[in-house]
Amino acid sequence: MFESPESYENILFLSLGQSPEIKQIRLIAAGNVNQGIYLETSAGSFFLKTNFETDPDIFEKEAEGLQMLRNKTPLQIPEVYHWGKIEDRNFLLMEWIDTDRPNPVYWQELGVGLAQLHMATQEQFGYATNNYIASLVQTNSPKNSWQEFFIENRLEPLAGKAYYQGLLSLEFFKKFQKMYPKLENLLPKEKPALLHGDLWSGNIMRGKNGSPCLIDPAVYYGHREMDLAFSRMFGGFEEEFYQSYETVFPLEPDFEERIPIYNLYPLLVHLLLFGKSYLSGIERTVNKLI
């Protein structure tokens, strides 16, 4: 955390145009990249994210993603007050979300809300700018087909990076690339859908009235099955979520069989961030397809 209260006071002034009295400062999360800090002030409570990342726009892109979600889904999204850099740290000041017990239709609300988000579309796959998934750059250059986008902007950049970092052998990297032509006939063709981009249980909170609130997006227009596959990565969500989604925006048949293909991307992200314990999942999928 910052060494002096003056740093927090400066952030509040930059963000709000005033210097409210700080009543409490509490570290509530310390991950590999970001710190999460609770600020209680005379002007209300705030959530402050900070990091030491050299990329100066990492929180700018997160703020843009949150605003995009606020514009496109009825689900709760934290309001962003300001982002920038002070001293040697990047910061992002946001609305504090008071967590509550999930309401009886929590998972149904999440399923319907995500389906409505996915109905937002545009002509090409991609996004106006590159952004980040965790601390990794996420390339979003527009492509006309999902297969092209998935290969050139998701799989190949991260697999190549993993190879150069010694996380993939040359033999397996070449085998991985042999999988690409097979994707054309394995993934259904759909219009681009606006995605959260990093949809796992850690990026969903219980917000006001116990309703779901989305945080930490890595937005782009992609194949909507990416979000749903990602949600299965760490145990999955409750079945009511998937059933509610299907009632609003039904999936093409055999989605379950495609989940491991989509999850090659988040597995590569985890391989680069956390090491070779995530390699076996990648190998299983590739070996099954080749």
**Which residues neighbour 266 within 8 Å (Cβ) at sequence distance 6 or greater?**
198, 230, 233
C-alpha dist (Å) from residue 97 to 65, 82, 269: 17, 16, 28
- By C-alpha distance, which of 84, 220, 203, 63 is closest to 143? 220
- Alpha-carbon distance 101 to 207, whole Å? 9
Transcribe 79-113 into DSSP letters. PEEEEEEETTEEEEEEE-----PPPTTHHHHHHHH
Residues in the chain: 290
Annotated catalytic residues are 198
Give the separation between CA 148 and CA 30, rounded to whole angstroms.
Answer: 36
Question: Residue 59: which of 27, 86, 82 has the closest Cα?
Answer: 82
